[in-house]
Chains A and B, each alone.
Chain A
Amino acid sequence: MSTTVIRIRGLTRTFRLSTGPVHAVRGIDLTARRGEILGFLGPNGAGKTTTLRMLTTLLPPSGGEAEIAGHDLVRDPAGVRRRIGYVAQSGGLDLTCTGREELVTQGRLHRLDRATARDRAEELAGDLGLTDLLDRPAGTLSGGQRRRLEIALGLVNHPEVLFLDEPTTGLDPGSRAELWQLVGDVRDRHGTTVFLTTHYLDEADALADRVVVVDAGTVVAEGTPTELKRRHAGDPTASLQDAFLAITGRGAPEAPLAV
């Protein structure tokens, strides 16, 4: 049995607009193993969200193929959906709904019966420290609490692969560290593969086993954070920031952390 849970070959996506085609993703190849945390890095507009939307079956690819948790993305999107969790860049919370209602609904959409869905909501709330917040409308939660609820929604079906699009954008340093801890815990406890995009290099450095850097819709570098630093900044003790800038050739070395 192979432990490769994500296998992507030549994935492309072109948006056809009246102003002309936009080649958002020009050809992405990558694989990820079971239990791996993969950091998907790249400047604004690199094609990260577009790639994630394709991998979560929300956007049909223009070309290429991908297999996720043993299911072909194009031929068996329903099989893929059963085995993934997705937290969009925009979050996906209805601020008037309580966490409990959303968690139960999400469970029902994953075809759990009512009682199981209710139990699963309680269980996740316990795991993610949301128990006391479960009956509050999402709009009354702090940014960090909302993020945890969003991730809980992505975990309802015990996914094999969890896709997180910029999970820590807008969080304070404390909440970010908490979220890293949470993502690490999920992986350690359930062997979940986590595919996360981020602009924060320290985040990739702290959390990711492997980093894939994309720019203009293609993979421009790939490796463990240490490898990338050695290869591109010439020094394993350099910051990933230096490596990133060397790879994408953008910005000044003293650019802020969020590229």
Chain B
Amino acid sequence: MNLLTDTGVIFGRALRATLRSRTQLAFAMLQPVLFLALFGPLLTELDLGAGGSSWQVLVPGVLVQLTLLGGSFVGIGLLMDRNTGVLDRIRATPVSPLAPLLGRTLRDVVQLLAQSVVLVLLGLALGLRAPLGGVLLGLLLVGLLAAALSALSHGLAMRVRTVPEFAAVANTAAMPLMLLSGLLLPMTLAPGWLDGASRAVPLRYTVDAVREAFLGHYANGTVAAGVAVTVALAGLGLFAGALAFRRQPA
């Protein structure tokens, strides 16, 4: 009970911070918007081997890309709070030890979902056609992925000291993940070795499932695998984040 209330208090605090930095939010949206507006039209005449229109391939990819790039770096805010003593001040109160992690992660998921809705609407304006149920399933998967990445990023922020250190690790992890998961173009276009390598990247299953959902296919192996992998990833991310949040060893 206390955990819920405390998480709510931390969530509120984090959400207000986000709303104060609206320019930052807008800049975070700029890249995916440009991808849709300037890269999307290039694909409309191509056969991406997925069935459906190119928008049903690109919009899910852009959503997952935003989740990955946004989610990996959310820990920087926490690192700042650590270095300015804000986190110590909060943790010297009776607050449930996990609330600072869960409250922030929840804020990140809410923010990402709001951004995703904007992107889907923009997609619709540009020519995307997808069933509502599929879009909702896609958003659910994207939200779970956001929780996983955000919790991991916060865990990382508890284990490094400086922003450059953080950025080095986060970049090193995010870049190959992005390229290997077929976010912009599906891996079905890739040569065999690359397709094989990408099967080791959990994000690939998420993005493939979101694409299927956008095509209106719900009951197939791709969707099942995507849901399973994404749920497992969220569980693992939260677990790892929670471990890092237990009182610091040093």
Contacts and interface: CB of A to CB of B under 8 A. Distances in A.
Interface stretch (A32-40, A53-61, A170-178, A211-219): A53-61
B84 A94 contact: yes
A88 B91 CA distance: 12
A157 interface: yes
B86 A81 contact: no
B83 interface: yes
Contacts of A58: 88, 91-92, 247-248
Interface residues of A, number: 34
Interface stretch (B12-20, B59-67, B143-151): B12-20
Contacts of A90: 83-85, 88
A92 B89 contact: yes
B2 A111 contact: yes
A86 B88 contact: yes
A57 B184 CA distance: 47
A197 to B, nearest CB: 14
A101 interface: yes
Nearest to A60: B247
Contacts of A87: 89
Interface in A147-181: 153, 157
A92 B88 contact: yes
A89 B21 CA distance: 27
B17 A106 contact: no
Interface in B1-59: 2, 5-6, 9, 12-13, 16-17, 20-21
Q: Is chain B's binding surface mostly helix, strand, loop or mixed?
A: helix
A158 to B, nearest CB: 13
B90 interface: yes
B250 interface: yes
B89 A86 contact: yes
A82 B94 contact: yes
Interface in A44-88: 53, 56-60, 78, 81-82, 84-88
Nearest to B81: A94
A105 interface: yes
Interface string B65-93: 00000000000000001011110111111
A144 interface: no
A56 B90 CA distance: 11
A84 B94 CA distance: 10
B45 to A, nearest CB: 47
Interface string A112-153: 000000000000000000000000000000000000000001
B98 interface: no
A187 interface: no
Contacts of B86: 92-94
A50 to B, nearest CB: 11
A92 B248 contact: no
Nearest to B92: A86
B89 A153 contact: yes
A44 B91 CA distance: 25
B185 interface: no
A110 interface: yes
Contact of B94 (A94, A105, A109): A109
A16 B250 contact: yes
Contacts of A85: 92
B2 A93 contact: no
B122 interface: no
Interface string A99-110: 001000110111
A91 B16 contact: no
Contacts of A57: 92, 247
A96 interface: yes
Given A57-B92, A96-B20, A91 B9 contact: no
B92 A56 contact: yes
Contacts of A220: none
Given A86-B92, A88-B88, 20 more contacts: A58-B88, A58-B92, A59-B247, A90-B83, A90-B85, A91-B84, A91-B85, A92-B88, A93-B84, A93-B85, A93-B86, A94-B81, A94-B84, A105-B12, A105-B13, A109-B6, A110-B94, A111-B5, A111-B94, A153-B89
Interface of B: 2, 5-6, 9, 12-13, 16-17, 20-21, 81, 83-86, 88-95, 247-250
Interface of A: 15-17, 53, 56-60, 78, 81-82, 84-94, 96-97, 101, 105-106, 108-111, 153, 157
13 contacts: A58-B91, A58-B247, A78-B94, A84-B92, A86-B88, A93-B86, A94-B84, A96-B21, A105-B12, A108-B5, A109-B6, A111-B2, A111-B94
